[in-house]
Structure 1
Amino acid sequence: MSADFKHPDRQHQDGRAKTGRPKRRLWRRLRRSRDGAAAIEFAILAIPYFLIIFAIIETFVAFYAEQLVHLAVNNMARELRTGRITYDLGRTTDMTEGQFRQAFCNEISILITCSETEITTPSKLYIDVRTFPTFGDIPGEIPRVSTADFSDIDPSSFDFAPGGPKSINMVRALYRWQVMTDLVRPYITTIRPADGSMPKDFLISATTAIQNEDYP
């Protein structure tokens, strides 16, 4: 019998084996293949990753805004203390409340913009400038609508009436900084809306007490 001759049944088995091996190798390659796995893993992790990044950035910006408001309060208080800003003394240095608010907004304009409406009708920035008989009479707490924790502020007692030479004055500013990232909102918001809705504001508070110089 010729060596090249094969039984028909064996030829059939060999054909099935040859066609079966590529299929099995294909399935093994598919099981081992990781093409696209990185894209899928990134899609799963992208949302929490970017939430953390945005939270870090927003927290940094909020605290920077707080430092900016503190600096503005100190600068405006120094202007009052030295007589470069006065009130109701019949001098060219006299400022109205609106002019004082505009000057304060100019100090923080690098990050916080005050609209014309905000200057005349405060909804975010509240400024309280008053004179007191002694330093002990200056209020040490932020006025709130209730005694509940994180209750909303009550600026109804705020005024603009600084004193003249040698008077004792308080300069206080409150600003509602809106927090956008839900991840950090429960942790850095310091006031809650009176209607019980979701908190969204980080309250920036800056206060300084001064005694004016005996300027002429």
Structure 2
Amino acid sequence: MASAAQRSGKPRRGWRSIVPARDGATIIEFALVVTPFFAVLMAILQTSLIYFSQEALETSVEAAARSVVTGKAQAADATGSSSGMSPAQLQTRFRNAACATLPGYMSCAKLLVDVRSATSWNAMDTSMPTITFDANGNPNNTLSYSLGSQGAVVLVRLMYLWPIQAAPMQLGLVNVGNGQRLIVATSVAKTESYS
């Protein structure tokens, strides 16, 4: 039922003219709800992708560690060394082999490999390397690459720099700066007897 002001054709004046009006209430309510909704949605998607990538990295580190434990990587390095490959080239080759086990959505350029060996479990250095970046935002660390020999305890650590999307709402997911999260998968095992 129309009010007296509406029937007479006169416009309403003052605060009373907007109090009963509900024409834009739905759009205002939507505007208030949509931003937090999309923030939570982005956080859920980002966290899910990180966990999914963590599991993929765990699978890759197990494959890389298996090649070390069985002596396959050491045999390949012995062959490479005898053909003139430098230690840096051997490390790059091991990294490329680890990259081959990553899923297609993970870039090999963001993978860091750290391999350490020790003669006993107590002598193993399991400390996490500090990742530093150059002026262009690329990691500039020299990581360990020591496969050890038969009976050695070997630590294989794959680290992946996962880019965090939605930069204004990083929601505490960034842990190494440059808008990235360092995802780490580690395997420690004693090498088998191999020939």
Q: TM-score, normalised by structure 1?
A: 0.66
Identify the residue that residue 81 of structure 1 maps to in structure 2: 69
Q: TM-score, normalised by structure 2?
A: 0.72
| Alpha carbons 1:175, 1:203 under 8 Å: kept | yes
| Alpha carbons 1:144, 1:154 under 8 Å: kept | no
Secondary structure at 2:126's aligned position in 1?
Answer: coil
Identify the residue that residue 187 of structure 1 maps to in structure 2: 172
Alpha-carbon deviations, 1:65-98, whole Å to 9, x = none? 122212211121012212333343238xx99322
**Which residues of 2 match residues 33-112 of structure 1 at below 5 A?**
34-86=22-74, 87-90=76-79, 96-112=90-106
RMSD between aligned residues: 3.3
**Which residues of 2 match residues 111-190 of structure 1 at below 5 A?**
111-114=105-108, 118=109, 124-144=110-130, 155-156=141-142, 158-182=143-167, 185-190=170-175
Offset at 1:163? 2.5
Secondary structure at 2:187's aligned position in 1?
Answer: strand
AA aligned to 2:185 is: A
Q: Alignment partner for residue 210 of structure 1, among 181, 184, 189? A: 189
Q: Which runs of 5+ in 1 are unaligned?
A: 1-18, 119-123, 147-152, 193-198
AA aligned to 1:166 is: G
CA 1:133–1:36: 2 relative to 1, 3 Å: same
Q: Which has the larger radius of gyration?
A: 1
Cα separation, 2, equivalents of 1:20 and 1:58: 54
Secondary structure at 1:136's aligned position in 2?
Answer: coil
Deviation larger for 136-145 or 59-68: 136-145
Offset at 1:58? 0.4
